[in-house]
Amino acid sequence: MVLLGTIVNALCIIIGSLLGKLLHRIPEKMKGTVMHAIGLAVIVLGLQMGIKSEHFLIVILSLVFGAIIGEALALEDKLNQLGYWLEKMIGAKGQGNISEGFVNSTLIFVVGAMAIIGALDSGIRGDHNVLFTKAIIDGFTALILTTTLGIGVIFSAIPVLIYQGIIAIFATQIDRIVPDDLMNSFIVEMTSTGGIMIVAIGLNITGLIKIRVANLLPGILAVAIIVTLIYFYQILII
């Protein structure tokens, strides 16, 4: 089943969020310290991913173009509006900031190499181990995030299901379309670009700064375009 890993991932986020909701009665000082700890851990994770680039100029260009496109489309505002709509729909007064929980958790769960690599493995090889591992990590992360950011975290399961599901389905045919060298190069540069976005998420969680990370998301598409152009340019000049 192509979507098995993705479905398990979404279910773990939901279960983790529900458990986090049950454990919400944590002292505010403890929540603040835990949130800072999560933010620092997310920053370290992002740094580990960010240094994997083999051509850092690609990462810089991708982030710049991504930021321009994201700001023009106001992606952060649209995600926040969706979060506010969810808040009104479920009448979650006093249950945390639905928009903040939804946006931050969605970015953490979606922006990363494991989401793409795991979905590709599911589609190409029928191997769900990467997504099963991601599901466990996301489940525990959702639990902790829900205790601090509120029930809005649970709704991040929806974009995870859609995003990874589309990649997994597309991946069933991708090996016939995309050369291995091109795919490997994309994964490396995408990992680095996504890692920098994750650093920004960690900084937001700690409260040190407010970066509109969602407006950087088109950078992933920019990576794909730039890497593809470079790949075919190198073929032409050989």
Helix axes 157-177, 113-124, angle to 10 degrees: 50
Summarize pLDDT for 161-204 with one digit per residue, the tens: 999 999 899 888 876 788 888 988 988 898 888 889 888 878 88
| Residues 209-229, mean pLDDT to the nearest whole number | 90
| Residues 74-81, mean pLDDT to the nearest whole number | 82
| Category of 207 on φ-ψ map: left (φ > 0), alpha (ψ -120 to 50) or beta | left
Residues of the chain with pLDDT > 90, as a percent, come to 25
Is residue 102 a contact partner of residue 79, using CB atoms and an 8 Å limit? Answer: yes
What is the pLDDT confidence band of residue 113, given thresholds at 50, 70 and 90?
Answer: low
Output phi, psi for 93, to 5 deg. Answer: -70, 135
Residue 210, pLDDT > 60, answer yes
Least confidently predicted of 22-31, 45-54, 210-219: 22-31
What is 73-106 written as a DSSP string?
Answer: HTHHHHHHHHHHHHHHHHT-TTS--HHHHHHHHH
| Residues 103-119, mean pLDDT to the nearest whole number | 79
Is residue 146 a contact partner of residue 24, using CB atoms and an 8 Å limit? Answer: yes
Summarize pLDDT for 44-71 with one digit per residue, the tens: 878 988 898 999 999 999 999 999 999 9
| Residues 81-107, mean pLDDT to the nearest whole number | 69
What is the Cα–Cα distance from 70 to 216, expressed in whole angstroms? Answer: 6
Please give the model's pTM, rounded to 2 decimal places.
0.74
Shortest CA distance to 185 belongs to which of 133, 131, 225? Answer: 225
What pLDDT does residue 91 have?
Answer: 54
Per residue, what are the HEC states of 190-236? Answer: HHHHHHHHHHHHHHHHHCCCCCCHHHHCHHHHHHHHHHHHHHHHHHH
What would the two tokens of residue 54 be?
A: 């083999």
What pLDDT does residue 175 have?
Answer: 67
What is the Cα–Cα distance from 113 to 110, expressed in whole angstroms? Answer: 9
Q: Residues 6 or more apart from 122 whose CB is under 8 A from it?
A: 2, 3, 4, 5, 6, 128, 130, 131, 164, 168, 171
